[in-house]
Chains A and B, each alone.
Chain A
C-alpha cells in the first residue's frame, strides 16, 4: 500500500482577504500621503513666513538707516496713492552720508567698474512693477496696466486680472537711490566725477533742455541727454561743500524725463510700459503711479505707438513731485568751478516681493487726549477734506488746535482732480513749475479725456523742504503688508493656497 505523498498546501489568501488588505493599504498610503502633504505645506508656509519676516526686517532696517541720515537742507516728500483698497505710499528725501554704488558698472555699454560713492543721495521708497512679468498674450518683459472698468486702472500686480500668474504680478516694494555727485569730467561730457575724483558715466535720464544729445545704448539711438553736456570741471567736493551747493540750488524743479516709453493699445484699452530702455538702462523696475479716481481712457486719447516724443507720462508722474536737482545752469562758483551738481541714478531695485501695501504716516510729536501720538496720513485719524484741510477724528478733539494746513500738502486729489486744482493747492514757495501746462503730461494729454486727468489718483503729496520752513515731522510710521505666496506642490499653473498677509509696522524717528 503505497502512501500517497501529499504536499501540504500553503494556505493562500482569499480574494476577499486580498481586497481587504489592498483597501487597508490604500487607506494607509493615502493617510501617509496626506500627512506628508500637510507637513510639506506647513513647512513651505513656514519658510515663506520666515522669508517675509526676514524681508520685512531688512526693509525696515534699510528705511530706518536711510531716514536716520535725512538732510533737512533737502526735502522730504510723502505721497499717498490708493490702488484698489490698498494704500501705496511713496516717500522720498535727501539723505546725506556715504552712499555706495552696489549695482555694478553704471552703464552697460561702459567697461567702467569704478566704485562710486556719493555723499548725498535722493532716496525713494515705493512700488515697482515686476518687470519680468511675462504675459501669455503680450510682449515679453513688459508690464501691462489694464483698464478693467471705466474710471479705474487695474494694476495687475494685485492679481485682479490674471490670478493664474499672480506670482508674477505682485508689485514689489523698491528703493531707488539717486546718487548726487559734484561735477563732470573734463575729458568726457558723458561722465561725472565722483567725490574721489573717478570719472564714471553720467546719469543718462536727465533731460537737457538746451538740446538733446543722442547717445547710443546698445546700438539704439535714444533721445537721451546729459546735464553734464558741454560742462567740465569739478573734481571733488567735500560733503559739506556738496550739501552747501545743493542747498544753494534749493532743489528747484528739474524735469526728470526718465526714458520709459509708455504707450497704449487703443484696441485693448491697455497701457504698456517697456522697461527695456527703462530708468538707467539696466534697472529692473519701472515706477508707476496708478490712480484710483477719475481715470478713464478714450481710444482717441491713447497713444497708438511710441514715437520717442513726449510720452513718458508714467515716469514723469513719479519723478515730478520728487525733483532733486535744478536744471543744469551755466555759471561758476567762487573757485571758478561750475556751480551745479550732477546725479547718477542707482537703484537697489527690489526690496520686498509680494508687498501688498506700503503706507507712511507722520507725526508732529503731539499727542491726542489720551496721550498717544497723533499719526497723520492716509487712513489715520487725520483726513483731508475737500478744502484740503486736515481734520482730526481721533480720541477727543484736537487738543492743540494745530493749524490745519500742517503738514504742507503740495497737492491733493480727493475725488476727482484736475491739474489746475492741484496747482492751486500748491503751498510750496519757489516751485512755480506746477503751473498747469497743456504740453506737460501731468494728467494732461495724451492721457486725458477732456479736463479729467488720468493715471493720477494721489490722495495727497506732503512736502517738507528747506525752503518751505515748515516744521518737519518728528517721526514716520512705516507700515507694509506682505503677502505670503506659495505654489501648491504638483501644480504648475499657479494654484495658490493659504495666502496669509502679514503687516509690519515700525516708527522711525527723524533726526531733529
Chain B
C-alpha cells in the first residue's frame, strides 16, 4: 500500500514574509519613479525662474528711466507704473510646449493662459551718495500657477487667457505684490517674501516668521492660501 504524503504547503508566516519582501522590493522600485521627474521639474523651474527674472530686469531697464523712480526710497516698494509700463502680456509667459507640441517661447505672444508671470519690487540701494548714484535693487518675484486649470490669467471680465489686463484671481485680487504685516504671517506659512526694511528674502515658517513687514504674492484662486505662486525671486542691482 503506497502512502503518498502530500507536499507541505506554505505556511501563513512564510507567505506573509514573502509578500513583505516582495512588497518592500516593489516599494523601493516605486520610489525611483518620481525622482527623475522631480529633478527635471526642479531644473525646469530653476531655469524658468532665472530666465524670466533676467528678462524682467531687461524689460524694466528698457521701459523705465531713472526719473520714474524719483519717489523710491531705501525701503522696498512695488515697482511703480507697472501696469502702465509693463502690461500683463509683457509679463505673461508660456514656457515649453503648448498642447499641440509646438514649442512656444516666452513671453507669450498669443492669447494663451500663461503659466508664468512676474511682479517686481524696487528700492534705492542704501548707502549711496545722494545726487551721485542712481542704483536700485530690483526684486523680481517669478510666479507660476500651480495647476493647469487655474485661472492665472483672468482679466477683469473673468475671461481666461485674455492677457490684456493684469491677472486677478477668482476673488478679483490682482497678482501684484501685497504687503503682509508682522501680525499677519499666521496664514502664510511657506510663503517666500521680501522684507520691506531690509530687502532680505524671507520664508515664512512656523516658529520662524519674518521680523519685519514683507511683500508677497497672493495665492492662486481657489487654492490653499499658503500655496504661494512665487517660484523664484531674482535679485539684481541696476543703475538707471
Contact = CB atoms under 8 A, between A and B. Distances in A.
B147 interface: no
A212 interface: no
A49 B43 CA distance: 8
B50 interface: yes
A319 interface: no
Contact of A10 (B3, B7, B54, B55): B7
Interface in A455-512: 474-475, 479, 481, 500-509
A10 B33 CA distance: 44
Contacts of B87: 370-372
Given A42-B36, A505-B55, A57 B6 contact: no
Given A57-B50, A505-B55, A373 B90 contact: yes
B103 A474 contact: no
B47 interface: yes
Interface string A32-52: 100100010011011101100
B90 A60 contact: no
Contact of B62 (A50, A60, A363, A481): A363
Contacts of B40: 45-46, 49-50
Contact of B36 (A9, A46, A507): A46
Interface in A46-85: 46-47, 49-50, 53-54, 56-57, 60, 64
A507 B59 contact: yes
B200 interface: no
Tell me the interface secondary structure of chain A in the complex: mixed
Contact of A475 (B51, B62, B97): B62
A43 B58 CA distance: 35
Contact of A371 (B90, B104, B107): B90
A214 interface: no
A280 B32 CA distance: 47
Interface string B84-103: 11010110000011000001
B171 interface: no
Nearest to A42: B36
Given A39-B32, A371-B89, 15 more contacts: A8-B3, A9-B4, A10-B5, A11-B5, A43-B36, A50-B40, A370-B89, A371-B87, A372-B87, A479-B105, A501-B103, A502-B96, A503-B97, A504-B47, A505-B55
Interface string B29-70: 100110111011001101100110011011101110000000
A230 interface: no
Nearest to B55: A507
Interface in B103-143: 103-107
B37 A46 contact: yes
Main SS class of interface, B: helix
Contacts of B106: 505
A373 B62 contact: yes
A365 B39 contact: no
Contacts of B44: 49, 53
A504 B62 contact: no
8 contacts: A6-B1, A8-B4, A45-B36, A53-B46, A370-B89, A500-B97, A505-B105, A507-B62
A504 B105 contact: yes
Given A57-B50, A373-B59, A373-B90, A503 B103 contact: yes
B61 A509 contact: yes
Interface in A5-34: 6, 8-11, 32
A53 B59 contact: no
B89 A372 contact: yes
A501 B98 CA distance: 11
A8 B5 contact: yes
A31 to B, nearest CB: 11
Contacts of B43: 49-50, 53-54
Contacts of A509: 57-59, 61-62
Interface of B: 1-7, 29, 32-33, 35-37, 39-40, 43-44, 46-47, 50-51, 54-55, 57-59, 61-63, 84-85, 87, 89-90, 96-97, 103-107, 164
Contact of A474 (B1, B55, B62): B62
Contacts of A10: 5, 7
Contacts of A60: 50-51, 54
A487 B57 CA distance: 38
Contacts of B57: 509
A506 B3 contact: no
A57 B47 contact: yes
Contact of B7 (A11, A54, A57): A11
A475 B33 CA distance: 42
A375 to B, nearest CB: 8
B4 A508 contact: no
B103 A506 contact: no
Contact of A11 (B4, B62, B104): B4
A425 to B, nearest CB: 28
Contacts of B58: 475, 506-509
Contacts of B62: 363, 365, 373, 474-475, 507, 509
B1 to A, nearest CB: 8
A43 B84 CA distance: 45
Closest 10 CB pairs of A and B: A46-B36, A509-B58, A505-B105, A11-B7, A371-B87, A46-B40, A8-B5, A503-B103, A509-B61, A507-B58
Contacts of B2: 6, 9
A508 B46 CA distance: 18
B237 to A, nearest CB: 13
Nearest to A380: B109
A332 to B, nearest CB: 39
A339 B5 CA distance: 109
Contacts of A474: 62
B69 to A, nearest CB: 16
Contacts of A505: 51, 55, 105-107
Interface-central residue, A6, A8, A503, by most chain B CB under 10 Å: A503
Given A9-B4, A505-B51, A475 B61 contact: yes
A503 B50 contact: no
A56 B47 contact: yes
Contacts of B7: 10-11
A372 B6 contact: no
Nearest to B56: A507
A50 B39 contact: yes
Nearest to A55: B47
A57 B3 contact: no
